[in-house]
Structure 1
Amino acid sequence: MRKPILTLFVFIALFGISCNKPAEKKDGGSDTIANLMPDMAGEGQWKTEGEVRCYKGEELFDYMNGGAELYHAYGFKRACVQDYKKGENLYTAEIYEMENSPKAFGIYSLDRQGEHPSIKQDATYQEGSLNIWKDRYYIRIFIPQKGSNIKEEIQSLGEKAVSQIKNEGEMPSLVKLIPAGAKKDTASSFWQMIPLNNIFFISHENLLNLTGDSEGVTFLFPAWKGDVRIILIRYSDSKQAKDSFEKFISGYFSQPSSPKGGDEYKGKKGEKMVIAKVKDNYLILSAGADEAETNKALLESLKPLEVK
């Protein structure tokens, strides 16, 4: 395994990639996501730039080159984009409607490092970029250039956007099983291999049998010799978990011994010690620089499963 790689997602999140092909325009209908766009007409010097551009299904590939697969892995349905300007500052606001609230949280959870302003349900601010999760919606507002008052202005756009969304949604259920000792803001939810590989590369093959039905969460556990990566997946039953355990071991390690009959396997992958363990309908992977610390993180991460 190698270190987390969020290069593609962070690049898209900070700068956006767009084209000029609108799939639909704002029509004022209550059922269109375009109506969730912030109305800044009565907010001082704010003004909109151009029309709302909306995309659904495969049309998202027209908006972002190379990033749409990641959104589709979280049940993407449709999105709308609007540019806003205040003085010399030009912002882009994007609102994504996902399949459900847990998956909207999932795409949001890929990049939670930064400040957390008090915008419901959850928000993360980095320099020039604000990400928000509320109900089944994921909102990104960003500005590529530097300027004055950016933090205040971008948060005012975000607050206006979430005020249009009346309901709050549920987080993925596996998030509740993250141990108290996990590193803050490192938990990411996933249902397919694409997001997991984008966080922590395993294989281009689907070695974990992730097809969209099995829920997973990954997070970091602090350790003296470097953070330990934990991957926890819940399958529909114990047989699927065991089959995935054996498939992972056979395909991931260069010369694995047969795992049949056992529920735990330890092996080296590059500089990492990797421990895989199956328990009931759960599969848990732990990867770190030191075997003792990797095993300790695994045991700590198993504790919530004992009392679930």
Structure 2
Amino acid sequence: MLTRSAVEAVIRSSLAEDAPWGDITSELVIPAEATATATITSREDGVFAGEEVIRTGFTTVDPRLEVTLHMRDGDPITPGTDIATVIGPARPLLTAERTVLNLAQRMSGIATLTARYVAEVEKAVAEVEGANKLPAGTITRTRVADTRKTTPGLRAMEKHAVTCGGGHNHRFGLSDAVMLKDNHLAVLTAGGATVTHALRELRRHMPHTTHMEVEVDRLDQIEDVLAGGVDTIMLDNFALADLISGVAMVDGRAIVEASGGVTLETIGKIASTGVDVISVGALTHSVRALDLGLDIAVRQ
């Protein structure tokens, strides 16, 4: 999903914003022949994401810059961890610094937060196994998934960062799957058709390879939606007791996704209800960037 060309496009767009007519400070202050060595270092605990951003970010500005990565996407980092070294002309190195750090910090923040959500799910599932005296791994781990609540233009990077933290990607965009929410259903049934009939008609015209998901917000909607032939049913903003009832009603006939206001404090309890997927918008829309620093040593 995160291709070099996608990263290059973001880097070029970011540089056009940050240095539309060049980096006048570096051009006026730094001698053209000056070279430097820069080290990107973590200043706090977390999970690193941004390998391709660092590599491509600097070389897009100037291919003479040599980038060596010391960490891989998904690696844990602590204060003082060296993440990458960049060697080459000082001017382009300084020009690229902020853009690269902004992106790598945000991606690492997403990976770090995702890892915390995943850990809460794993803890909850392990507690259920222990309480029922089941061998570890007996219960399928609930997936923690992202949403489309991403920063415009940065979706590929942010969704990649979620996977670096151990999470999973939901659909990438509107072109990837059929996903009907309450407003879609309101329009679809405005002519008097039942939800079941409308979904069956939709399924009849869909390509056989296309996945269909439908959102419900009440238990009494579940049977009609299942009868329409959905692949995934989303239980939106359900109370824990209703999630348990909903999982029992679906009984394996579709993938069950829980969504709506999920937090680190609630995700473990939601996972314990037996849902297959928990989608968390906060992974990308409420994340704090991880603190990474870049220090330069001038080479003579």
Question: Fold-level match, TM-score > 0.5?
Answer: no
Structure 1 or 2: larger strand share? 1
Structure 1 or 2: larger helix share? 2
Q: Greater relative contact order (Cα 8 A, min sep 6): structure 1 or 2?
A: 2
- Structure showing greater Rg: 2
TM-score (norm 1): 0.28
TM-score (norm 2): 0.28
